[in-house]
């Protein structure tokens, strides 16, 4: 029987063709993701793109037992367990919010205030930021608030391009800052940091970017349609004031994270809060939580949330073996040794981290992929220059909030175009082109400027030796 204990290595991980062949599985996965991006596809099963290179890579390994155990050790990484559990609970928390009616209620109150033109765009950005921060998903936020706020805003005289730009920008803000966001979880865990500390330290980047963006949406003159308030009713539903109590879900999660409670503890308490509030207020019936129909299968809010998280969970399970193959095969050392020839300062290290992630993000079209793939490099390179883990996590996540929302072929931008096509408030309304949306998304552009200034000037840069309170905290694994 083969030894499978992670402490007993079956042999050194080497490849036919030399040490550079260690990059082949990762390059194959990258090619697959580029192909998906070039086809403008948004398939939830993109984890398959990682599975196939892992399987094919065994043909290149001189010691296939060593290769197989490297794959298993990648799956056994404590970060995998934390991310899988956190992403699953975050999916359930987001499902509780999206199905409670709170988002529709907020949209109704906004429409009833009869805000017009740029003022409606301004409020739309703030509202979308709130929803995205609560749910932690930019794509889910666009899909949820877009079909309501976009047509209503057009009827109230808002410029369609700026309106969609505000919706996508708000989604980017939530994806960047929310404790339940997959990018926040990925950036914090790969740098061995606690979520609460990461979110607190990220405020110095995210809040200025959001404030400047909100001001731009409010002040920039826009040429929209004339207000056509009479047609708004068909795009809104009846307000449900009790649903606003569901905002306790993200509040509980954020407070516990800020109190440095374990991420799984904070998410679990948030989910419990949502279930209790939903059942007490009648927002949900017991059968809505978990339902088992007479036919084979099951449904309900909890299962919907888990199903929404499954693609990202499977992605985590596939990419960590790839990263561990690079680690045990010497690939990361090759990269670090190469960078050491050109990187001489903390500023250079930060530039290398951000540049690497942006290139991967632009190639793959998925910012979480880029963050996790760059995480190990950022951890090792950052520690070499004593850069604090909070700073490393912020560089990763803030970089993921830029080109992922700016490039015209990225999923959020394409969803904005689809939004303008599928939700026309009146027959003569024209679809908004991807390039128009890219230009109208202020948050990613402002964040990119802040990120560049931050690296050049050292704004927000902290070191592991700055103070005793900033010693790198280890993530709980028990």
pLDDT of the residue at 7 = 43
Closest by CA position to 329, among listed 21, 6, 22, 3 = 22
- State the pLDDT at residue 213: 97
pTM: 0.79
Place of tokens 């050392």: 333
What is the C-alpha to C-alpha distance for residues 470 and 462, in angstroms, rounded to an integer? 9
pLDDT at residue number 200: 93
Cβ partners under 8 Å of residue 92, min gap 6 = 271, 301, 302, 305, 306, 309
| Number of CB atoms found within 10 A of residue 18's CB | 8
pLDDT at 135: 83
What CA–CA distance (Å, rounded) separates 109 from 382?
Answer: 46
CA 429/CA 424 separation, integer angstroms: 6
Looking at residue 2, what is its pLDDT?
42
**Which tokens belong to 43?**
């398939």
Task: Check: CB of residue 132 under 8 Å from CB of residue 145.
Answer: no
Domain limits, the chain: 78-461
CB 66 within 8 A of CB 335: no
What pLDDT was estimated at residue 45? 59
At residue 292, the pLDDT reads 67
CB 424 within 8 A of CB 385: no
DSSP code at position 291: B
Q: Which pair of structure tokens corresponds to residue 204?
A: 């110095």
Distances (CA, A) of 25 to 19, 29, 79, 339, 433: 13, 6, 21, 21, 36
d(CA 261, CA 248): 17
pLDDT in tens, the chain (478 residues): 344 444 444 567 889 988 889 889 888 887 877 776 666 555 555 677 778 889 999 999 988 898 999 999 988 888 788 888 888 888 888 888 888 888 778 777 877 777 778 898 999 999 999 989 988 888 878 887 888 888 888 888 888 999 999 999 999 999 999 998 989 999 999 999 999 999 999 999 999 999 999 999 998 877 666 666 556 666 666 778 888 898 898 889 888 888 888 878 988 999 999 999 999 999 888 888 877 665 655 678 888 888 888 877 887 888 888 888 888 888 878 887 887 788 889 999 999 999 989 988 887 677 888 898 889 889 999 999 999 999 999 999 999 999 989 988 787 887 888 888 877 766 666 788 888 899 999 999 999 999 999 999 999 999 887 544 444 444 433 3
Please give the pLDDT value at position 478. Answer: 33
- What does 373-438 look like in DSSP terms, one character per residue? HHHHHHHHHHHHTTB-HHHHHHHHHHHHTTHHHHSTTSHHHHHHHHHHHH--SSTTPPPPPHHHHH
Q: What is the dihedral of CA 280, 281, 286, 287, to 10 degrees?
A: 180
């Amino acid at each position: 029987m083969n030894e499978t204990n992670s402490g007993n290595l079956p042999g050194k991980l080497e490849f036919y063709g030399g040490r550079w062949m260690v990059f082949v599985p990762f390059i194959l996965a990258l090619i697959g993701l580029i192909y998906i991006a070039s086809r403008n596809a948004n398939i939830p099963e993109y984890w398959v793109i990682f599975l196939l290179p892992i399987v094919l890579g065994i043909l290149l390994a001189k010691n296939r037992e060593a290769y197989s155990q490297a794959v298993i050790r990648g799956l056994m990484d404590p970060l995998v367990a934390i991310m899988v559990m956190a992403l699953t609970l975050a999916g359930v928390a987001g499902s509780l919010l999206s199905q409670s009616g709170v988002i529709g209620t907020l949209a109704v109150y906004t429409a009833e205030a009869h805000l017009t033109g740029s003022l409606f765009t301004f409020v739309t950005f703030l509202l979308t930021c709130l929803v995205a921060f609560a749910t932690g998903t930019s794509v889910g936020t666009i899909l949820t608030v877009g079909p309501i706020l976009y047509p209503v805003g057009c009827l109230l005289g808002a410029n369609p391009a700026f309106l969609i730009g505000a919706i996508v920008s708000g989604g980017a803000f939530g994806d960047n800052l929310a404790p339940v966001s997959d990018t926040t979880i990925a950036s914090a865990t790969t740098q061995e940091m606690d979520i609460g500390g990461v979110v607190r330290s990220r405020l110095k980047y995210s809040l200025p970017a959001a404030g400047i963006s909100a001001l731009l949406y409010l002040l920039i003159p826009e040429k929209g349609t004339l207000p056509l308030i009479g047609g708004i009713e068909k795009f809104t539903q009846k307000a449900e004031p009790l649903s606003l109590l569901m905002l306790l879900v993200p509040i509980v999660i954020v407070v516990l994270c800020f109190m440095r409670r374990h991420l799984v503890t904070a998410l679990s308490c948030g989910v419990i809060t949502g279930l209790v509030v939903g059942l007490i207020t009648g927002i949900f019936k017991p059968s809505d939580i978990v339902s088992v129909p007479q036919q084979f299968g099951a449904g309900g809010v909890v299962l919907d949330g888990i199903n929404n998280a499954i693609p990202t969970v499977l992605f985590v399970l596939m990419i960590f073996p790839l990263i561990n193959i690079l680690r045990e095969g010497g690939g990361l050392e090759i990269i670090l040794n190469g960078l050491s020839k050109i990187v001489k300062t903390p500023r250079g290290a930060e530039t290398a981290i951000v540049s690497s992630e942006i290139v991967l993000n632009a190639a793959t079209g998925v910012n979480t992929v880029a963050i996790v793939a760059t995480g190990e490099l950022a951890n090792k390179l950052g520690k070499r220059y004593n850069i604090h883990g909070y700073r490393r996590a912020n560089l990763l996540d803030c970089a993921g909030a830029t080109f992922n929302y700016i490039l015209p072929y990225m999923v959020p931008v394409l969803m904005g175009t689809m939004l303008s096509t599928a939700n026309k408030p009146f027959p003569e309304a024209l679809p908004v082109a991807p390039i128009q949306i890219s230009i109208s998304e202020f948050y990613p552009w402002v964040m990119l400027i802040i990120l560049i200034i931050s690296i050049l000037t050292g704004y927000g840069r902290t070191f592991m030796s700055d103070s005793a309170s900033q010693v790198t905290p280890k993530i709980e694994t028990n």
